Structure 1
Amino acid sequence: MNILITSAGRRVSLVRFFKQELRQVFPDGKVIASDAHPELSSACMVADDFFRVPRVSEPGYIQDLLRLAREYDIKLIVPTIDTELLILSESIDLFRMNGIEVVISDFEIVKIFRDKRKTHDFFAGYGIQTAREFDKQDYTLPLYLKPIDGSRSVDNFIIKEASQLTDYHFSNDKLMFLEYLDHKQHVEYTIDLYYDRNSELKCFIPRKRIEVRDGEVNKAVTKKTKFIHEIWKKMSYIAGFRGCITFQVFVNKESDHIYGIEINPRFGGGYPLSYLAGGNFPKWIIQEYLLGERHIPVFEGWEENLMMLRYDDEVLVHNYSH
C-alpha cells in the first residue's frame, strides 16, 4: 500500500507525516515522492523512495506518472502544487482504472480555483464577500494587484500611490486591480479544511498568519475564531470537494467582517501546524482511500493557541556525484 507525494520539493514535514501514519496500519507500506529534480528535493531525500517525472507542462506527463506509479506499486496519490491539480483531476478515472486513487477534488471544482475571478464568484455564492475589483481605467487607491491565475505571491503588488503604477500593470491582462485590505485593519487567516469522500466537512482549523516568507507562512498560531461556525454552516457540504482544502480569508478587526481571498484544493505549505495541533488529515486519507472506511467523524478537538515558528534545517546527501 504505497503512497505517492507528487512535486514533493521541500515538503519534508508532509512526507514524514504520511510515513508515520502509513506505518501504523501498513508497516511495509512506503511513502514515495516524485519531482522534476528529485536529487535536489529535500522531501524526496526523506521519502522511502523517489523517482523523477517530467514537468507537468510537458507532453506525456500523465502517461509517465501512471507508468511509474504502477512500477512502484502506488495505490494512492497526493498532489501538492497548483499547476498539477487540473491535469490530475481530469485523470481521476484513468488512475482509478489502474487501481490508484488520487486525493483531489472534481475537475470542475479545481478549474474554478485556478481563476481568481471565478474564486470570487464562488465565495459570493456562499455569502462571503471579497475584495472589490476595479476597472483599470476607474479605480481607487490603495490597490492590491495580483494575477488571475497566480500562486505563491508571484507578481503581486501593493500600490499606494499612482506613481507606482507602470505600463506593465496596465498592459498585463492577467493582473487584477483589487481593493487593498490593509493588514493594520484586518487579520489574515488560513484555514485547513478536511472534506471526506462524500464532500462533507469534517475538520476546520484556522491559523492566524503572523509572518509569510516567499508566499508561504513562516509563523502562525491556531485560533478558535468567531467565524468557524458561520463558515462551517455555509460550507458543510460542497459537491466535488475532497481531501485537504485551504481557504485564505481576511477578517476586519473592528466589524469581524470576513473577506474571502483564495481557495487552494490541496495541502497548503502551512499544513504542518494543523497536523501538529491534532488535525490528522493523512490518517483520515489512509482510512478512507486505502482502508475503505466509510465514516470519518467530525473532529473539533484540535489544540488552540499552538504557535508554529519555522526555521531552515538541513538534509544531507552523502556521495552526491552530479
Structure 2
Amino acid sequence: MNILLTSVGRRTYMIDYFKRALYGIGQVHACNSCFTIAMQSADKSVCSPMIYDSNYIEFIINYCLENNIKAIVSLFDIDLPILAKSREIFADNGICVVVSDCWITRVCNDKFYTYTYLSEKGIHVPKTFVSLNKAKEVVNDGGISFPLMIKPRWGMGSIGIYQADNFEELNILYNKVKKDILNSYLKYESKEDVENTVLIQEKLLGQEYGIDVFNDLSGELAVVVPKKKIAMRSGETDCAEIIENQNLTNLGEKLSGLLKHIGNLDVDCFELDGEFYVLEMNCRFGGQYPFSHLAGTDFPGAIVNWLRGEEVQAESLKYKVGTIGVKDMVPMQLRNFI
C-alpha cells in the first residue's frame, strides 16, 4: 500500500512516521506546491499545482494512479476542504482520502465559525468578533477588556497575529491584519467573506493545553491525548508534557462525538478559573502531534491498519504520562532540488 502526503511543508517527522508504519508493505509519497525539505525524505515526491489551481485535483488523481497510491493524507488546513469536496471522485478511482466531511473542515478553518459552533454546543470559547465596531462597543460596555488579539479569520500558524493594548492599536492592527491576509495564501479562503476576514478576540491569560482527539475512519473515538504546553514558537507547540487530565479527556470525547471527524483533531485550549476554553481546532495532524507520538501512540500506524482492514492493537494507542518532548532544528544536506 502506497500513501501520498499532500502539502507536506517541512514536516519531515510525519514522513518518517508513515514510512515506519508502511515498512515492508508500501511507500510514502509526498507533494507540495514547491520543493520543501520534507519531500527529500519521502520514497518519492512531486511538485503539484497550487491547491486552488483548477488542475490540482486532476493532477493528484493522475499521480496516484500512476504510482499505485491507495490513500491520501493532507497536512495543511487549506488543502482539507478541497480534498473533502472531491472525496467521491477519488473513491471512484480507488483512492481513499483520509479527510473529514467538508462542513467539519469549515468549522475548523473558519475561526469565527469555530466560535459560534462551539458556543452553541455549550463549550467554553473566548469572546470573538468579526465587527470592529461591535468589539469596540463591547469594550466600552465592560464586556471585554484589553489586551485583545487581532488575527485572520481563516488563519494558521503565526501569520497576521497581533496584540492590541488600546483603541489606537486596535484600529491600526485591524487594518494591518487585512493587509497581511491579502499578501499571503490566506487570501484564498478569505474570499468567502471579504468584508469580515479579521477576528477580534479576548486574550485568555491562563495556562495553555492541547489535546489530540483521534477518531477512526468511521468517525468513532479511538483515543484522546492531553498535554500541557510548555513553550510555543511561531504559533506551534515547541515543548510539551503529556499529562493525565480527566476534564481535558472529557472535552476531547465531547468534540469527537459532536464532529465525528476522521483521523486526528488538533485542539488548542486554555485553562481559566478552572474551566477549559477551546481557542481553535485543526482537523489534521497538527504541530502538537509529535509529542503524542513520543509518548508511545502511533496514529499513522493505526491509519495504515484501518486502511488495510486490520485491527489496531491497543498498545499503539497508549501513551506514557509524564513524557516531555521538545522540537529540535537539524540541518540537512540538500540532495535533490525539484
Matching residue of 1:122: 117
**Contact 1:245/1:264 (8 A) holds in 2:** yes
Matching residue of 2:45: 50
**Distance 1:66-1:233 versus aligned 2 partners, 3 A rule:** closer
Matching residue of 1:143: 148
Matching residue of 1:95: 90
Post-superposition shift, 1:96? Answer: 0.9
Q: What are the ranges of 5 or more consecutive residues in structure 2 without an aligned counterpart?
A: 140-144, 179-195
Give me the whole-angstrom Cα distance separating, in 2, the residues matched to 1:143 and 1:317. Answer: 42
Code of the residue aligned with 2:19 in structure 1: it is: K
Aligned mate of 1:301, from 290, 301, 318: 318
Matching residue of 2:20: 20
Give me the whole-angstrom Cα distance separating, in 1, the residues matched to 2:70 and 2:121. Answer: 35
**Distance 1:293-1:133 versus aligned 2 partners, 3 A rule:** same
Give me the whole-angstrom Cα distance separating, in 2, the residues matched to 1:302 and 1:310. Answer: 18
**Distance 1:233-1:50 versus aligned 2 partners, 3 A rule:** closer
Matching residue of 2:214: 194
Post-superposition shift, 1:212? Answer: 1.6
**Distance 1:167-1:301 versus aligned 2 partners, 3 A rule:** closer
Q: Kindly indicate whether residue 236 of structure 2 is the aligned counterpart of residue 216 of structure 1.
A: yes
Count residues in correspondence. Answer: 310
**Distance 1:35-1:300 versus aligned 2 partners, 3 A rule:** closer
Post-superposition shift, 1:277? Answer: 0.8
**TM-score, length of structure 2 as denominator length:** 0.85
Give me the whole-angstrom Cα distance separating, in 2, the residues matched to 1:275 and 1:251. Answer: 24
User: Alignment RMSD, CA only?
Assistant: 2.1
**Contact 1:126/1:234 (8 A) holds in 2:** no
Which shows bigger deviation, 118-127 or 89-98?
Answer: 118-127
**Distance 1:180-1:34 versus aligned 2 partners, 3 A rule:** same
Determine helix, strand or coil for the equivalent of 1:238.
helix
Q: What are the ranges of 5 or more consecutive residues in structure 1 without an aligned counterpart?
A: none
Code of the residue aligned with 2:209 in structure 1: it is: Y
Residues 77-116 of structure 1 deviation map (CA, whole Å, 9 limit, x = unaligned): 1100011011001111111111111111011211222211
Matching residue of 1:152: 157
Post-superposition shift, 1:164? Answer: 2.1
Post-superposition shift, 1:170? Answer: 5.6
Code of the residue aligned with 2:80 in structure 1: it is: L
**Contact 2:242/2:322 (8 A) holds in 1:** yes
**Contact 1:76/1:102 (8 A) holds in 2:** yes
Residues 123-161 of structure 1 deviation map (CA, whole Å, 9 limit, x = unaligned): 224321111125233123221112111111211111123
The 4+ residue runs of structure 1 with deviation greater than 6 A are: none
Residues 189-231 of structure 1 deviation map (CA, whole Å, 9 limit, x = unaligned): 1211110122111111122222222222111111112413431
Q: Give the percent of matched residue pairs that are identical in Structure 1 and Structure 2.
A: 29
**Contact 1:188/1:209 (8 A) holds in 2:** yes
Residues 151-192 of structure 1 deviation map (CA, whole Å, 9 limit, x = unaligned): 11211111123332334516943222211112xxx1111211
